[in-house]
Structure 1
Amino acid sequence: MILDARILDLSRLLPGPYCSRILADFGAEVVKIERPGGGDWLRRMPPLTDGEGVLFQILNRGKKSLTLNLKSDAGRAIFLRLVETSDALLEGFRPGVMERLGLGYETLAQVNPRLVYCSLSGYGQKGPYQQRAGHDLNYIGLAGLLDLTGAREGPPIIPGAPVADLTGALWAAVGILLALLARERTGRGQRVDGSFLGAALSCLPAALAQRAGRQPVERGGGSLTGGLICYHVYETQDGEYMTLAALEPEFWAAFCRAAGREDLIEQQFAPTLPGEPAYEELRAIFHTRTRQEWMEALKGTDACCEPMYTLAEALASAPVQALGMLSGADLLPPVQLSAQPARPAHPAPALGQHTAVLLAELGYDELEVERLEGQGVV
């Protein structure tokens, strides 16, 4: 495996565990630090299999679980010893929580100057919103992303995936890897500050380009948000949908020829406004065939026109099957390295499954571990 590093993961729910799972899939030893007696809330979130949440199992594969009460002196002492032999730390608390526990970056950097310390929060470590609670919907709303999602004249539509959460997790993983790479040159770790609000903003380069060019930035009106007839979703005769994304002239021309409507080639960038002749014409054209008939008609045509699938249809489809990502109810990473392919080391751990082993590595014997358990430290 490519990542020979130990990561202490204090995060929970979705974003932080998604970040550390990426690292675990490529070989990192991820030690998930959990509260004694409860652990990550996702362990109890339905749907459940074998008494544990399926989403928890998906997000925490390949990791180790150590229960530790960081509010106790003994728990913090154990944690500091773990920091001495770790390469990176990931935490998802509100700014200031780690400092109040005596585990802030400045403190841990003195314990281990090579430590990469990643904080992943809603609004970053500074600013007027740093202490506000939030979730994905709040972040994409504040970033302006939600305002752009939906049809013209229609209400904003919540995306089918938590965009800010997952993008924030990806950026945190990139930040950790970059800091580890920089450490190879400098010999020192550093602070990595990631925010979900910033992650949501990072998804808007096209909208920012429109704004810089003094073009209107409006819901359903952008070139990549359904504002042009060549880049839109169309209903078919049977109530299903096709996705047309023929931005390049050659793809648009190929579609028009396959549809028997070469007269529309010059109308590629017509707007999707009600009453716009080219738009209404294209809607009518798609209604002349079922989704399957359109798939057959476009077979062998390079036109960037594909069916819209349900999740079940997508997972059973030939292109998804060919990726080799399916692994039971889970997915392998979408990026594979030819020499070091990602393979989860083992399923998600039971709560505290590796506590005794990890404490033994620090020199604690069985009697000491039992004493710590009795005190609620582990």
Structure 2
Amino acid sequence: MPPLSDILILDFSTLVPGPLATLFLAEAGARVIKIERPPTGDEMRLYEPSVQGESVNFGMLNRGKSSLSINMKEADALDRLRPLLKEADVIIEQFRPGVMARLGLAYEDVRALNPDIIYCSINGWGNTGPKAAAAGHDLNYMAETGVLGLSVDGTGAPVLPPLLAADIAGGAYPAMINILLALRRRDRTGDGCQIEVAMGQNLFPFLYWALGNAHALDRWPVPGGETITGGTPRYQIYRTRDDRYMAAAPLEDRFWANFAKVLGLPPELADDRRDPKATRDAVAQIIARKDAAEWMRAFEGIDVCCSIVLTLQEALQDPHWAARGVFSQSLSLGGKTVPALPSIIAPALRSPDITAQAPQLDSMKP
């Protein structure tokens, strides 16, 4: 039996952070009811691309849930919700601080009906502090926590990241972790609690190396000049002769020694402590002499921690993922069956019968 099969979650969130968290909780067996605002529901339902009018993004993030459409500004809204509020184990919401209180759904309001409720709020800056009410998106959170400024191009300008790090790593994952911890504590004590997940704040652990140096040594990171941002030849992206790119990460000495040997680096350059820039330039020149496939054959069977930068299409064709069944779950989308979003829930903890489609708006309507 899935571990969360006895858990009911009311999900007031939209877009990415909350819906992704409840997707994984649903995969662990939880019953998730999306509380959506009429007439359109979650904004993600309107996002393109779509298949036969069904948003691909919404389908990916909301598989296996139910939907209840309620206009919370109507007089009978709380009356309609009250039975579910009393029954729910978890509430997750993603509004700016104060919105749920204005709707009569603050933690204290719900706790009065359901003392053991676990109430999780996800927002950008936290419920308190000067920025609490400020609007923001993933790029803003990365910009204002120093993350974005550490990844720069050749001109020193920040590079747009392809990942929603704040939404997912700073929002969805901490929400899920803290909800599970709160459920575990409630099992032991019977007490519910209020959880706050501040997406911007949760980006700081990614900078553990920079924070340690700054706080302990008063050494602040140089954009493009640190170990993982381009400051060493051992962690670089090099262009090959056929205009592909090699992600080279032979950080440890044993990997670097293998790498330098295959490349034929002379001893004075293989010792990259002498002149890291000279070594990096020499490596770049050597890598540029052969095609990507030639380098992969040269590295075959040798521990060098080097990879060719693949397109997403190429990555999905890797037989490794097929062998592991990463995309074995399916999603019904506009009459078409496509692979579902890979789950982070271990198979032993995953519900085997999670619905293979996202809910239609107000699918719970009598």
SS at match of 1:118: strand
Q: CA deviation at 1:317?
A: 1.4
Q: CA deviation at 1:223?
A: 1.0
1:316 aligns with 2:305: no
Q: Which residue of 2 aligns with 1:197?
A: 200
Counterpart Cα distance in 2 of 1:159 and 1:144: 13
Question: Cα deviation per residue 1:8-37 (whole Å; 9 max; x = unaligned)?
Answer: 000011111111111111111110011122
Q: Structure 1 counterpart of 2:103, which letter?
A: L
> Gapped runs of 5+ residues in structure 2?
330-337
Q: Which residue of 2 aligns with 1:336?
A: 346
Counterpart Cα distance in 2 of 1:213 and 1:259: 36
* TM-score (ref. length: structure 2): 0.92
Counterpart Cα distance in 2 of 1:141 and 1:69: 35
Q: Which residue of 1 aligns with 2:20?
A: 18
Counterpart among 114, 129, 132 of residue 116 in structure 2: 114
Question: Cα deviation per residue 1:284-314 (whole Å; 9 max; x = unaligned)?
Answer: 0110111111111111111111111111111
Q: CA deviation at 1:257?
A: 1.7
In the TM superposition, 1:103-252 aligns within 5 A as 103-151=105-153, 153-167=155-169, 168-211=171-214, 212-252=216-256
* TM-score (ref. length: structure 1): 0.89
Q: CA deviation at 1:2?
A: 1.7
Q: CA deviation at 1:321?
A: 2.7
Q: Which residue of 2 aligns with 1:73?
A: 75
Quick one: structure 1 residues 24 and 262, their matched pair in 2 at CA, closer, same or farther if it must change by over 3 Å?
farther
Counterpart Cα distance in 1 of 2:119 and 2:324: 34
Q: Structure 2 counterpart of 1:299, which letter?
A: E
SS at match of 2:355: coil
SS at match of 2:247: strand
* Matched-pair contact (CA < 8 Å) for 1:71–1:101: yes
Q: Which residue of 2 aligns with 1:6?
A: 8
Quick one: structure 1 residues 12 and 270, their matched pair in 2 at CA, closer, same or farther if it must change by over 3 Å?
farther
* Matched-pair contact (CA < 8 Å) for 1:20–1:30: yes
SS at match of 1:237: coil
* Matched-pair contact (CA < 8 Å) for 1:244–1:304: yes
In the TM superposition, 1:50-65 aligns within 5 A as 50-65=52-67
Counterpart Cα distance in 2 of 1:217 and 1:90: 36
Q: Which residue of 1 aligns with 2:332?
A: none
Quick one: structure 1 residues 148 and 26, their matched pair in 2 at CA, closer, same or farther if it must change by over 3 Å?
same
> Gapped runs of 5+ residues in structure 1?
357-378
Counterpart Cα distance in 2 of 1:209 and 1:353: 50
1:351 aligns with 2:361: yes
SS at match of 2:206: coil
Question: Cα deviation per residue 1:289-345 (whole Å; 9 max; x = unaligned)?
Answer: 111111111111111111111111111112333332214343221442436467633
Quick one: structure 1 residues 97 and 309, their matched pair in 2 at CA, closer, same or farther if it must change by over 3 Å?
same
Quick one: structure 1 residues 174 and 303, their matched pair in 2 at CA, closer, same or farther if it must change by over 3 Å?
same
Q: Structure 2 counterpart of 1:65, which letter?
A: S
Counterpart Cα distance in 2 of 1:270 and 1:230: 14
SS at match of 1:355: coil
Counterpart Cα distance in 1 of 2:197 and 2:249: 32
Q: How many matched pairs?
A: 353
* Matched-pair contact (CA < 8 Å) for 1:333–1:342: no
Q: Which residue of 2 aligns with 1:363?
A: none
Quick one: structure 1 residues 32 and 228, their matched pair in 2 at CA, closer, same or farther if it must change by over 3 Å?
same
- Identity, % of aligned pairs? 37
Q: Structure 2 counterpart of 1:19, which letter?
A: A
